[in-house]
């Protein structure tokens, strides 16, 4: 279910205003805290012998609830960022979603009306690498010579609490 990876994206300034990060949307809604969380390990319940013995440092999720909110959240925020920037689905070269679950990715892409060949998926190779999923998928897409300067890319993620968001960028590397 979970993989081990690290990812980073280097951002730098540019004098080319038509390239780079064009927009982002981030939502935070603490009402989902009971559905996707780790019971201990933070400041409220610091790690102790008791919390470890009680296995409170494992992720807990209500799968059906998380699935529903993840699909709706990632699809809606991505569609909104596309529309807000006066683009259409056909303008988007790649949708690079958080790689938590293939069914979530597939349902979100279908809800957005995206062709499957525009959706980057690598969960089948690595599992859910949590915060590294989008940088890893972006790196692989670039490494495989699929990204060209000027391509529109939408990323989307969903996480604990609930949090979700999207970034719209115009690829800046040849």
Instruction: List the chain pLDDT tens, one digit each, 174 residues.
Output: 677 788 888 877 677 788 999 999 999 999 999 999 899 998 999 999 999 999 999 988 899 999 999 999 999 999 999 999 999 999 999 999 999 999 999 999 999 999 999 999 999 999 888 889 999 999 999 999 999 999 999 999 999 889 999 999 999 998
Parse the chain into domains and list their residue ranges: 20-170
What whole-number distance in Å separates Cα of residue 118 and Cα of residue 153? Answer: 10
CATH superfamily, region 20-170: Thiolase/Chalcone synthase (3.40.47.10)
Taking Cα atoms as reference points, which of 19, 14, 151 lies closest to residue 96?
A: 151
pTM for the complete prediction? 0.89
Q: How far apart are CA 28 and CA 45, in angstroms?
A: 22
């Amino acid at each position: 279910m979970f993989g081990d990876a690290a990812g980073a994206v280097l951002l730098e300034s540019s004098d080319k205003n038509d390239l780079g990060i064009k927009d982002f949307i981030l939502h935070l809604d603490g009402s989902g805290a009971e559905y996707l969380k780790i019971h201990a390990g933070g400041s409220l319940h610091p790690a102790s012998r008791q919390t470890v013995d009680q296995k409170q440092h494992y992720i807990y999720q209500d799968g059906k609830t998380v699935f529903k909110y993840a699909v709706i959240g990632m699809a809606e925020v991505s569609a909104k960022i596309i529309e807000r920037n006066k683009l259409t689905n056909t303008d988007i070269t790649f949708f690079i979603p958080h790689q938590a679950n293939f069914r979530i990715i597939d349902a979100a892409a279908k809800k957005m009306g995206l062709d499957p060949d525009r959706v980057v998926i690598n969960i089948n190779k690595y599992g859910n690498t949590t915060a590294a999923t989008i940088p890893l998928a972006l790196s692989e897409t670039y490494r495989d010579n699929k990204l060209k300067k000027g391509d529109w890319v939408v990323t989307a993620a969903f996480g604990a609490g609930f949090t979700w968001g999207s970034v719209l960028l115009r690829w800046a590397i040849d």
